[in-house]
Chain A
């Protein structure tokens, strides 16, 4: 006798422990297999892009902090590059080195959070997450030294940064970099060789390169498929053409490859920061207020600047009508664009892999909804 079965639709989120914020999915299951996924988002929409039209160019820095709140420095950097391009500001060299150090530290912190939460989604009851978070704390302490804030830094200003690093920052940074390498080694020893982690992530949610390129996916997700695309290398901004680092590539394009690329990239970030420390020169951290006033009035025009964020290409498009506030701001949010292939990754997979795949995208709802 054949038993009649039918697929069941389950609503996951927005209040679900592992949706990385307030994300909602209507998932249709056939047993444990995923038949259909309908993502629903917008629960964290705060209208940042609209708010920006009412604020001066310097004030908007605080709005960018709150977009992707685990990589505020990188958001700051992308926005400041766009403002500098729009207003034709020449940044001061020390400020540029400092913001490169800050943004690479932030990239490490963001990758650690991504790795920790991926392991949390895999069901490792908090231990790897706390190990990763412990190291992130040290990075946040460094940020506290730099600008007094830990999460919403607002450290960068058009033309540089708002404050020079205190003297005790440099030894602390040196110590911190060693700790980061130790933590990454530790994470790799315990996790990369772990049979359960490997068997659960290998070969799941595989995406072909062509699909990734057509969907304009960027960042570690793209590099995990073997496409050598890193804006720091392809279109160097700031002083990235004066530092050297390896690009981390993997061919598998599955959840493990994405995890692996992130872990390895933290090492490269440490390498970049070491080179920045060697090359940094004394001087002002930003141009004087005579050159770059607090109220910037860029000429009429538009500018788009993109950086290699922790999650992919993070771009800011600004249109100026010559006033103190932008006429229009648009953010190319890598989290949102990387999320567009969610259905392709999930359908046909298992329920157990749903949130692992979701975590391997490394999205941040603050950036998806803005």
Chain B
């Protein structure tokens, strides 16, 4: 058993309870294991399965809670109650929904490519779960601490679009294809500012491992990298196609976009993946910019992580509830002309600051924050001036002096309200058809 694995408390706790006899566990204070000596390989396997089960089920349970919470919040934002029938405060509503979804008839359209149609829900759910493998949920609580963690997250999240394209193509539905085209356009545009926004964080931390990035955050990077956070947050919203960037699922335009032909649990998997993406995005934002599990002492690190995660989720839901949708060309313009420039400014400024303080201490990080905030505010203001819509240049017309003359000022009442007397042709027709 390697040292790296034993630093991971998730692994250590499960593995050492099973195989406490091994030397490496004994040195850490675990006395007896359930398994006899020589079966460390079995303990390793069981620990792996247990961790997979723990994370997957934890995330799925989180999704159930999130769906309930989001619907309750929607209710509050819209001055109504939200779900409140099943269970205390309606907590069982999403359980009932899940059961209902599972028991629905599974319909495959006649024109669909059956293999791809059935593959797409799996393709979307698997990457959404994979992201959680690199996220540190607390001190030493992670599945794996990859040294290229940030790159891994970027790579895995962009797989979502591939499955959306697969789903749309295989349903044989034109509306779905339009939705998939938008999805691809969004991915290509927003992957670039998203990746560039993280560059500042990586430069400051000097590592791509999510664990190291948290350790480097003496000051949360949201304070040191406001511009990076701004761009990353917006790009992440676009990546997971949430309002105001929900172009792929635009309900008022495309009905449900690529989901149009999916029913039953296949639809359920897409739905799950969407909410898992929301959780994973919040977890990544928490890790990269809100100093992850760091907090002060009496409260355990897992609670800090959870609290920050919920705060980010709340903001995402808030955005979704408040803002109308942007149009496709506006969304793409915003990515290329707005966010891209902001990330470039951020990288240049951060590079200069790192050249001044190569090994930033906490004090240096505060100094960087002091430089970065004015830069962020000024550049965001300039970009908003650049991309903002100009107000109308014409003044409003004066009703007492209409800009366009219509007829004369005094219109004879007869021309508007119709003739008082019956016209001759009408009378003739009434006579002809046997009226009075």
A119 at the interface (CB under 8 A from B): yes
Known interface pairs A17-B251, A125-B243; A200-B394 also in contact (CB < 8 Å): no
CB < 8 Å neighbour of B417 from A8, A195, A200, A304: A304
Q: Identify 23 residue pairs between A and B in the complex whose beta-carbon atoms are under 8 Å apart, listed by A's number.
A: A16-B255, A31-B181, A85-B418, A123-B246, A123-B325, A125-B251, A126-B78, A127-B322, A194-B324, A196-B323, A199-B388, A200-B330, A202-B392, A213-B406, A227-B404, A250-B397, A301-B420, A301-B421, A301-B422, A302-B418, A321-B430, A352-B327, A355-B252
Known interface pairs A127-B321, A196-B323; A352-B328 also in contact (CB < 8 Å): yes
Give the Cβ gap from B82 to chain A, nearest Cβ, in Å. 12
A242 at the interface (CB under 8 A from B): no
Give the Cβ gap from A277 to chain B, nearest Cβ, in Å. 24
In the complex, what residues of A have CB within 8 A of residue B411's CB?
234-235
CB < 8 Å neighbour of A209 from B178, B404, B421: B404
- B252, A130: Cβ atoms closer than 8 Å: no
Chain B CB count within 10 A is highest, among A9, A195, A353, for A195
Known interface pairs A17-B251, A196-B326; A235-B416 also in contact (CB < 8 Å): yes
> In the complex, which residues 180-208 of chain B have their Cβ closer than 8 Å to any Cβ of chain A?
181
Give the distance in Å from the alpha carbon of A16 to the alpha carbon of B252 in the complex. Answer: 8
- B435, A300: Cβ atoms closer than 8 Å: yes
In the complex, what residues of A have CB within 8 A of residue B37's CB?
none
B29 at the interface (CB under 8 A from A): no
Chain B: number of interface residues, binned into ranges:
35 or more
- A350, B321: Cβ atoms closer than 8 Å: no
| Interface secondary structure of B, over-half rule | loop
- A198, B403: Cβ atoms closer than 8 Å: no
In the complex, what residues of B have CB within 8 A of residue A8's CB?
174, 177-178
Give the Cβ gap from B72 to chain A, nearest Cβ, in Å. 15
Give the distance in Å from the alpha carbon of A369 to the alpha carbon of B31 in the complex. Answer: 82
- A228, B328: Cβ atoms closer than 8 Å: no
**Count of chain A residues with a beta carbon within 8 Å of a chain B beta carbon:** 67
Give the distance in Å from the alpha carbon of A9 to the alpha carbon of B78 in the complex. Answer: 37
In the complex, what residues of B have CB within 8 A of residue A162's CB?
none
- A134, B396: Cβ atoms closer than 8 Å: no
In the complex, what residues of B have CB within 8 A of residue A130's CB?
78-80
CB < 8 Å neighbour of A302 from B74, B79, B325, B423: B423
Give the distance in Å from the alpha carbon of A327 to the alpha carbon of B426 in the complex. Answer: 11
In the complex, what residues of A have CB within 8 A of residue B303's CB?
none
Give the Cβ gap from A126 to chain B, nearest Cβ, in Å. 6
Those 10 A-B pairs whose CB atoms lie nearest each other, nearest first: A123-B325, A304-B418, A321-B435, A228-B402, A322-B436, A352-B327, A122-B324, A124-B324, A235-B416, A247-B399
In the complex, what residues of B have CB within 8 A of residue A9's CB?
174
Give the distance in Å from the alpha carbon of A196 to the alpha carbon of B427 in the complex. Answer: 57
Q: Binary interface profile of A, 104-129, with partner B (CB < 8 Å = 1, else 0)?
A: 00000000000000011111111100
Known interface pairs A251-B403, A352-B250; A234-B416 also in contact (CB < 8 Å): yes
A319 at the interface (CB under 8 A from B): yes
- B404, A123: Cβ atoms closer than 8 Å: no
Give the distance in Å from the alpha carbon of A232 to the alpha carbon of B436 in the complex. Answer: 36
- B404, A120: Cβ atoms closer than 8 Å: no
In the complex, what residues of A have CB within 8 A of residue B244's CB?
123, 196
Give the Cβ gap from B153 to chain A, nearest Cβ, in Å. 27
